[in-house]
Amino acid sequence: MDAAAADKKNIKEVVKQKYSLIANQSKNQNASSCCGASSCCGDSTYTIFSENYDSLKGYNPDADLSLGCGIPTEYAGIKVGDSVLDLGSGAGNDCFVARAIVGDTGKVTGLDFTDAMITKAIENNNKLGFTNVNFIKGDIEEMPLDNEQFDVIVSNCVLNLVPDKNKAFKQMMRVLKKGGHFCVSDVVIKGVLPENLRQDAEMYAGCVSGAIDIDEYLDIIKNQGFGKVTIHKQKVISVPKEILSRYMENEDITRFEKGELGIFSITVSAIKAVN
Of 37-41, 92-96, 247-251, the poorest mean pLDDT is in 37-41
Coil vs helix vs strand at 196: helix
Domain boundaries, the chain: 3-271
Assign residue 266 a region (left: φ > 0; alpha: ψ between -120 and 50; beta: otherwise): beta
Cα separation, 262 vs 266, whole angstroms: 13
> How many angstroms from the chain centroid is the CA of residue 242?
28
3 neighbors 11 (Cβ within 8 angstroms): no
Q: What angle do CA 60, 28, 109 make, to 5 degrees?
A: 35
User: pLDDT for 208-248, tens place per residue?
Assistant: 768 899 999 999 999 999 999 999 999 888 788 888 888 88
Q: What's the pLDDT band for 34 if we cut at 50, 70, 90?
A: very low
Q: With bands split at pLDDT 50, 70 and 90, how would you rate the model's confidence at 39?
A: very low
pLDDT level of residue 11 (50, 70, 90 thresholds): low
Choose which CATH entry (3.40.50.150, 3.30.300.30, 1.20.1250.20, 3.10.20.340) describes domain 3-271: 3.40.50.150
Distance CA 261, CA 257 (A): 8
pLDDT computed for residue 168 by the predictor:
97
The mean per-residue pLDDT over the stretch 50-65 comes to: 90
What is the rounded CA–CA span in Å between residue 45 and residue 28? Answer: 12
CB 225 within 8 A of CB 269: no
Taking alpha carbons only, the member of 231, 192, 215, 202 closest to residue 36 is 202
Q: Is 183 exposed, middle or buried (0-12, 13-18, 19+ CB in 10 A)?
A: buried
Write down the pLDDT at residue 203: 58
pTM: 0.86
pLDDT in tens, 166-193: 999 999 999 999 999 999 999 999 888 8
Residues 153 and 125: beta-carbon distance below 8 Å: no
Question: In sequence order, which residues have a C-beta less than 8 Å from that of residue 102 and are 6 or more positions away?
Answer: 78, 79, 80, 81, 82, 83, 84, 108, 132
Residue type (1 letter), 77: G
